[in-house]
Every structure is written in C-alpha cells, then in structure tokens.
Structure 1
Amino acid sequence: MARLGLRLLYGVIVVWGAFTGAFFLLYIVPGDAAGGLTAGADGGDVRQLLAEQRELLGLDRPVYVQYWGALTGALRGDFGESIYQRRPAVDVYFESFPETLKLALLGLLLAVVLGVTLSVVIELVNWSWARELLITLPPIAVSLPPFLVGLLLLQVCAFQLHWIKAVSDPSFSGLLVASLALAVAGGGSISQLLTANLRGALTSPYIETARNWGLSRFDIVVRHALKNAALPVVTSLGTTVGVMVGGTVLTETVFSRLGVGRLVVDAVDGRDMPLVLVAVTISAVIFVVVNLVVDALYPLLDKRIRWEG
C-alpha cells in the first residue's frame, strides 16, 4: 500500500505540473485573449476597449492572483468559461472528446497489432538479410513524427488512391487512416522492446525443452516465448498512451478532424486559457490513470511480482 500511495502522490504532482506548466507557458507567450477579442477594432478607443476587456477577463491582475484563482477553481472542477465560446470550458472539451477518444483507442490498438506482428515476423523469418532489414524498421518508425506520417498517408490515400476525403472525413476509412498515422511511432516503440525481449526469451532453458519436444518455430515463438517477452511491453503501454494523447493534436490538425486536438490548437492560438488548462489537465489525468492501472495489472500478469509495503 505504501508503494501505491507513493504512485498516487507522483500522479498528483504530474497533474499539477502539467497544469502549472500550461498556465505559465501560455502566460509568457506574447498577446492575450483580450487582444483577440478586440482584433479588427479601429479608432481612438482601441486602447480603452482593450483595457476594458483585460479587466473583464481578469488579465489585469497580478499573475500569481490569476494562477491561484485558476488552480483553486480547477480543484473544484470549475475551469471557468471558454473566452470565445462563452460556455463552461469543461462542456466544450467533452463535446469534442468522443472523436478524439475513438482516434486514440484505435491508434493504440493498431500500434499494438503492428508492433507485435513485426516482432514475431522478425523472429520467424529464416533469411538473415531479411531479418536485419526488418529490424531497422522499428527505429525508423519511432523517429517519424505523426504529422509527417499523416501527410504521407493523406497524399496517398486521399489525393492518389481517393480512398478518403482530404478534409474532415467522417467515415471509418478516414478514422482508420488517421489512426494509422498515430500508430506508427507507438508500434515502432513496442516492436523495439518486444524484439529485444523475444531474443532473450528464446535463449531460456524452457525454450530448449520446447525445441527438444519437436515443436515448430512458430509454436515456440508465439505460444511460449511471446507470453513472457510481452510482460515488459505492458508497462510501456503507459508511455505509449502518452504518445497517443500528444499525437492526436497533430494528427487531427493534418486530417482536419473535429476533436480535442483541433480544439487545443485553436485555443492556444486564441490564448483561451480556460480551454487550454482543461485540455492539458484531463490529458495528464488520463496519462496518470493509465499508468496506475498498468502498475496494478503487472503483478497479476506476473505472479513473481508483488506490491511491497
């Protein structure tokens, strides 16, 4: 229980750090929401109008007063109203959340499928040159940013093959292609870890026993080695979820999908502080909760591991 309590404390610190970092980063960026609200105004009263808007939004108060007000409000679950939409920021966020959730979950599923499949194929290929070629793919996948993969898939699937619409495709095909762009880096990361673990597992004594029984290489890799090699990969899923959450912003922007990613981009561009804070905080909470669940499941998957304390 002591370790679980410590993990919960770390989670609280992570969420607080994400909230605080987002607040001050947006604060130090030139411009504010008042400037956006008064954009296009002309005449001699522009400065007065800007000052009135800043006072109305509370932007004329000292930064520590603004931060404390935002923090205490967030602790009550009240992030305030979206500056431009004039509605509770939480409501605005959760209106867009379902689309992003579908994208992230399908991206995570594809990442696991791609990573596991590639690692198994690497171990089953008999030709050394083909195996070495396949081993180079995961590092390349990890190094590719989601927006670049998205642009390539958009060019091929939308403009050349005409499988999907170039802008805001609501079909499952559009969701699948966008999720694939999100899954490439995560799948590469999973494959790197799983391939290394598989090679270690295949040198274990129980694998030698399986070979002596005359089992095929497929049965040895898939039915025996994969189970033990996959355990550390479960832990890495927490990090993969973090990659997915961050990658949705760029992916939704590239594919012009209406979700949290597009919402955050517009909110940052307009300095909509309440909307940015609710998006960053909920993303941090999701990341922390997923990691806590993974930590809780790991001892159940491997009976040799127990919670201490």
Structure 2
Amino acid sequence: MAELVAPAPAPAPAPALGRGGVNGRYLATRLAHSVFVVWAAYTFSFVVLYLVPGDPVEMMVSNGGVISVTSEQIAELRAEFGVDQSPPAQYLTNLWHAVHLDFGRSLQRGQPALDIIAGAVAPTVALAGAAIVLAVTVGWALALWATLTRVRWMQRLVLLLPALGVAVPSFWIGLVLLQVLSFRWHVLPAFGDDGPRGLVLPTVTLAVPTAAFLSRMLAQSLSRVLADPHVTTARAKGLGRWRIHLHHALRNALPPVLAVAGVLVGNLLAGSVVVETVFSRPGLGRVVETAVTSKDIPVVQALVVLFAIVFVTVNLLADLAHHLLDPRVTLAGPRNG
C-alpha cells in the first residue's frame, strides 16, 4: 500500500503591508513606544529635579536680587508655582498640564516655558544643522578615502583619525580653536552670535566628534560590504572602483550607520550645551545650563520632552530610510502568537 503522507501545512499569510512595506500595526507600535519614551524621560527628569538639593522658589528669589523676603511671601510664591504640594501631587498636576502642552511659567523669567524655548530654537537649529552637514561631508570623505586608497600606511592613518576625534573632548577642541584662530590669529570671532563668521568655530567644534564617529562606522561597514559576493562579481565585470563604491557598496553600507542616528542626534544635543557655553552663543544649550543650575523645573521638563520627541522622531525616520535603502526590510508590527 502506498504510504499516506500528510500534506504540508499552508504557510501563514503574511501581514498586509501598506505602501513601501509599512503597515498600521508597525506605526501603532512605534507610536506607543515613542509615547512611553517621552513619558519616561519626563518622569525621570521630575524625579532627578526633586532629589536635587535646594528650594526652587528660594533660588528664584536669590537670583532675582531680592535681599529681604518674608516667610509669608515665600509661601505665596510656592503656592503660586505649585511647589507647595507633595511630590506625587506636583507630578500628576504637571503631567496633566504637559499633556496639554502647558509646562507652566519659568521660575526665573516668569514667562511660559515654551515661549523661552521657542525663542532659543533657531540658533541651536542653525548650529546643529551646520554641524550635521559638515560632519556627514567629512565623515563620508574619510570613509571613502580609507576604503579607496591602496596605500596601507595611509589607510591606517585615515582610520586612526576617527579614533582621535572621538577620544578628544569637544570643549578641548573649542578651546584650541579659540586660542589659535581667535586670540592669536584674529581670523574668526571668539564669542557671541556674529552671523555666519560667528558660526564657524562652534560648528567645527560640534562636528568633529560626530564626523569621527560617522567615518569610523561607515569605513567598517564599507569594508564588510566590499567583501560581499556581489561586489566581487562587479569587479569581475570590470567596473571601476569609484563606481563599485558609490553604486554597489555605499547603499548597502548605510543601514548600520542609520541605526545609530538617534545616538548621533543625542550627542549633538548634549554637545550643543557645551559648545554654546564655551562660545557664549544663545540657544537651547544656554537655556539648559541656566535652567538646570537654577532648578527651573518648568523649563527643564519642557526641554526634556522636546529632546525626547526629537530623539524618537529621528529614530523612526532612520528606520524608514533603512527600508528605502534595503527593500528586503519590511516594517511590520509584531504578529500575534
């Protein structure tokens, strides 16, 4: 008798994908993760600020130059700004208002926290944008140079530069640039926001660590891709090195770099605090410094939420770009079961 063989089970249907391989479940999951990240950042900042010693109202009065203030006036101010409540009550009240984009008034300036941040966004965006353009340009150039050159010692030298760029603190780079280009040679202004010329030194200072990180990652990724079989086939067809790099290797080498885009943006935001302080530039960095040192809770929490939103947005855009570069990657939500 013929042996009966059970038919193979039919494959489970793939989730319905939208255009470009992105479905609604994936977007809903990412949105939920993003909301959680923003909430966690807000909560963590509240706990840290509460644990920092010092009364924010007393710091506000002392920074305002008021010498004699009665205890009744202090109590009125504490009630006005809501810091007379218990920490859980403050947290829930502030969180409810933050959901409605109301972070309260600055304890130091008396203005709405969002208005203070809105007035400082433009200089920081200009600085970060210029630093990103410079970092990407230099990082790609170094990575391509390191993987294109056939001179072994030059390749090692180029690969050594990113390690030095990452190891050197950004504030030290800024101080060296100030000493040489501003104080000694008087080529560029040292401090302030003096138009495009005043943007050069802060941009270079902020871009060096990012360019070093990008060049190192891209060079390593390119080296791996250049060893793949499809690149070997392209060489066998007689294609030139530049064409192989730009048309066959670079696109496949970019996804690992995009995977750390959120880290790079975080480094830029953290670096802007240092750079804008070193060069006495207006911007979010100076606002962060002032708000943290004076325990200006509304401004600090509004900044934390802003930075968290930027972080999750950049990560989502990086994932979408990863899919565009490699259509084999489908952005689908988790399956049930």
Are the structure 2 counterparts of residues 195 and 94 from structure 1 closer, same or farther at C-alpha, using a change threshold of 3 Å?
same
CA distance in 1, matches of 2:283, 2:43: 24
Determine the structure 1 residue equivalent to 2:258.
234
- Tell me the equivalent position of 2:48: 25
Structure 2 counterpart of 1:75, one-letter code: V
SS at match of 2:208: helix
- Greater radius of gyration (CA): 2
Question: Is the Cα–Cα contact under 8 Å of residues 252 and 325 in structure 2 kept in the other structure?
Answer: no
Partner of 2:17: none
Cα offset, 1:148, TM superposition: 2.3
* Matching residue within 273, 296, 299 for 1:249: 273
Q: Distance in 1 between matches of 2:28 and 2:170?
A: 35
C-alpha contact (below 8 Å) 2:181/2:188 kept by paired residues:
yes
**Residue of structure 1 in register with 2:164 after alignment:** 140
Secondary structure of 1:230's aligned partner: helix
Give the conservation status (yes or no) of the 8 Å contact 2:114–2:299.
Answer: yes
Assess if the C-alpha contact under 8 Å between 2:106 and 2:112 holds in 1: yes
Query: For residue 314 of structure 2, what is the aligned residue in structure 1?
Result: 290
Q: Which amino acid aligns with 1:58?
A: G
Write out aligned runs for 1:187-206 (5 A).
187-206=211-230
Q: CA deviation at 1:47?
A: 4.3
User: 1:77-106: per-residue Cα shift (whole Å, max 9, x none)?
Assistant: 101111222111101110110111111111
Q: Secondary structure at the match of 2:327?
A: coil
Fraction of identical pairs, as percent: 38
Indicate the residue corresponding to 2:5 in structure 1. none
Deviations 1:48-68 (A, max 9, x none): 543443333222211111111
Aligned match for 1:212, one of 213, 236, 248: 236
* CA distances 1:161-187 after superposition (whole Å, capped 9, x unpaired): 322222204221221321221111211
Match of 2:128 among 89, 92, 104: 104
Between 152-161 and 32-41, the greater mean CA deviation after superposition: 32-41
- CA distance in structure 1 between the aligned counterparts of 2:325 and 2:253, rounded to whole angstroms: 12
- Aligned 8 A contact 1:32 1:270 in 2: no
- CA change 1:152–1:206 in 2 (3 A) is same
TM-score, length-normalised on structure 2?
Answer: 0.85
Say which structure is richer in helix: 1
CA distance in structure 1 between the aligned counterparts of 2:136 and 2:331, rounded to whole angstroms: 27
Q: Which residue of 2 is the match for residue 175 of structure 1?
A: 199
- The answer on 1:267 being equivalent to 2:291 is yes
Q: In the alignment, does 2:100 pair up with 1:76?
A: yes
In structure 2, distance between residues paired with 1:155 and 1:6: 50
Q: Do the aligned partners of residues 95 and 41 (structure 1) sit closer, same or farther apart at CA in structure 2, a change above 3 Å counting?
A: closer
Aligned residues: 308
Change in 2 beyond 3 A, CA 1:216/1:50:
same
For structure 1, the 5+ residue unaligned runs are none
Query: Does the 8 A contact of 1:108 with 1:241 survive in 2?
Result: no
**Which piece of structure 1 moves more, 278-287 or 122-131?**
122-131
Once the 2 structures are TM-superposed, how far is the Cα of residue 199 of structure 1 from its aligned partner?
Answer: 0.8
Report whether the alignment pairs 1:61 with 2:85.
yes
Measured on the aligned residues, the alpha-carbon RMSD in Å equals 1.9
Q: Which residue does the alignment assign to 1:224? A: 248
Equivalent position of 2:329 in the other structure: 305
Q: Secondary structure of the equivalent of 1:87?
A: coil
Distance 2:320 2:255 in 1: 13
CA contact (8 A) 1:118 1:191 kept: yes
1:110 corresponds to which letter in structure 2? L
Q: Which runs of 5+ in 2 are unaligned?
A: 1-23
Superposed displacement of residue 46, structure 1: 4.7
Question: What does residue 36 of structure 1 align with?
Answer: 59
Give the counterpart letter for 1:278 in structure 2. A
In the aligned structure 2, how far is the partner of 1:305 from the partner of 1:37? 53
Q: Which amino acid aligns with 2:261?
A: L
1:6: which partner in 2?
29
Aligned with 1:84: secondary structure?
A: coil
TM normalised by structure 1 equals 0.93
Instruction: Give distance in 1, aligned partners of 2:245 and 2:184.
Output: 39
SS at match of 1:136: helix
